[in-house]
Structure 1
């Protein structure tokens, strides 16, 4: 059995808030870039642990709890817009002194990664990896998942729910995946999730694509329904240097559906094998 690469969870004060993160791999990978992973709309850092474990075999890896999720600061006093969350990412990178960093974002996290790279001018960044980001926005087709799917499951989790109850929302997931989501979903602050969902339709992330300051890889879920071939064509027009990889047999939650296919999609883009 492969030894765990998990090191610890910790908090840092950055961009004026408490940001919680999990660390894998650590200093044994000195000389290689660090990885900072930004999860999606209702995915606390701990739910990406099985992914970070493998990244941690080759890289010093950090998984961030986005504000309003997990153990990071939450509450009605915070701004949950894309700019504030992007600034959290840049402040986190600066606070931990990550001067050579690969920023990997899934779904919402990919949109935050795009905006963070543009607002920060690429400071400390080597590369972006954008995993199936929503391509909705002003005048565009809506994001395929409806807001009630998120809100209803969060409200049920606040009362307490088990894996069987979670299965109604995530029918293809394993028992272990369902248990973990049922345990942690209550930490997703509903107003933060609503604000993010609204941002999927209000924020023009496409306007940022021509301004990306570092190389980028786009990973597309073949069965996700989020990014269509015409969206890929538009993204390439806006950012001709972007590379695209597909995971044909995975839905939007790519690692949950095809973990090996997810890592294979990186190819040699990170400079070290992920197998």
Structure 2
């Protein structure tokens, strides 16, 4: 990463402390919601590029990073979506776009359904489409839990390479530094919700222009899922990054931005 955020800050919204990093400061507002074990700082390299055109707020989802955590919180999808709605409201963000990756994309969908006037558009980056009676999410829970437990005791970039072998040294160092902030029960709940909460049911309720970005090598979204999603929301715009796995910008940074295009400000 060549630069950094303008600042990091905390806001009390939906009854919890929500920590965020702000990049850019000019242009249309974008709220970036990371995935299941990605604190905000790990998306800095993407936010920096977005900040060339947008005013970007990257969230620490509850139970991750510097946001509220602990055994007394609800880590379900509805609670995380309510956080995003409250975040935008408390900061008086004027109909920002939501860009969510993986779990963050599911949060974006649920938030947009809950508050359709609050958000202008959605960029959904390879969201899990598993659910009751559906194909299982391809990643397995121990992959997350084992790495978090190692991080709690201290792990370096070399140790993290066993879990993320294709990442750069800088990306591995960031994950090794921050993964311990991912609260295991929050991760377990979110992972289980991938299989309990069917996000397809939300798609017909969307009102905003919406993009679905598919990782060509991710194994998360298949052609049958694309067809079903479009049947439920015919205006859905689908783009693909053929040579990327689920962590699209980690695998193909330029391909991610080519696929995103000008959607966020169109």
The TM-score range, normalised by the shorter chain, is: over 0.9
The question of whether the paired residues in 2 share the 8 Å contact of 1:5 and 1:56 is answered with no
In structure 1, the partner of 2:9 is 10
For structure 2, the 5+ residue unaligned runs are none
- Is 1:85 equivalent to 2:80 in the alignment? yes
For residues 228 and 259 of structure 1, the distance between their equivalents in structure 2, rounded to whole angstroms, comes to 21
- Return structure 1 stretches of 4+ with deviation > 6 angstroms: none
**What is the Cα deviation at residue 266 of structure 1?**
1.4
The question of whether the paired residues in 1 share the 8 Å contact of 2:24 and 2:56 is answered with yes
The question of whether the paired residues in 1 share the 8 Å contact of 2:40 and 2:58 is answered with yes
**What is the Cα deviation at residue 181 of structure 1?**
0.2
In structure 1, the partner of 2:190 is 196
In structure 1, the partner of 2:240 is 246
CA RMSD of aligned residues (A): 1.2
- Is 1:180 equivalent to 2:174 in the alignment? yes
The question of whether the paired residues in 1 share the 8 Å contact of 2:216 and 2:245 is answered with yes
SS in 1 for 2:121: strand
In structure 1, the partner of 2:260 is 266
In structure 2, the partner of 1:106 is 101
- Is 1:34 equivalent to 2:33 in the alignment? no
For residues 181 and 97 of structure 1, the distance between their equivalents in structure 2, rounded to whole angstroms, comes to 31
The question of whether the paired residues in 2 share the 8 Å contact of 1:5 and 1:25 is answered with no
In structure 2, the partner of 1:22 is 21
The question of whether the paired residues in 2 share the 8 Å contact of 1:10 and 1:21 is answered with yes
For residues 222 and 155 of structure 1, the distance between their equivalents in structure 2, rounded to whole angstroms, comes to 30
For residues 22 and 153 of structure 2, the distance between their equivalents in structure 1, rounded to whole angstroms, comes to 30
Q: How does 1:48-63 map to 2 (within 5 A)?
A: 48-63=43-58
For residues 184 and 82 of structure 1, the distance between their equivalents in structure 2, rounded to whole angstroms, comes to 22
- TM-score (norm. length: structure 2): 0.98
Distance 1:251 1:233, change over 3 A: same
In structure 2, the partner of 1:45 is 40
The question of whether the paired residues in 2 share the 8 Å contact of 1:33 and 1:100 is answered with no
Q: How does 1:95-244 map to 2 (within 5 A)?
A: 95-120=90-115, 122-244=116-238
Query: Which stretch shows the higher mean deviation, 93-102 or 126-135?
Result: 93-102
The question of whether the paired residues in 1 share the 8 Å contact of 2:112 and 2:118 is answered with no
For residues 21 and 36 of structure 1, the distance between their equivalents in structure 2, rounded to whole angstroms, comes to 10
For residues 68 and 256 of structure 2, the distance between their equivalents in structure 1, rounded to whole angstroms, comes to 30
- TM-score (norm. length: structure 1): 0.95
Aligned residues: 266
**What is the Cα deviation at residue 3 of structure 1?**
6.8
**What is the Cα deviation at residue 213 of structure 1?**
1.8
**What is the Cα deviation at residue 253 of structure 1?**
0.2
**What is the Cα deviation at residue 6 of structure 1?**
2.0
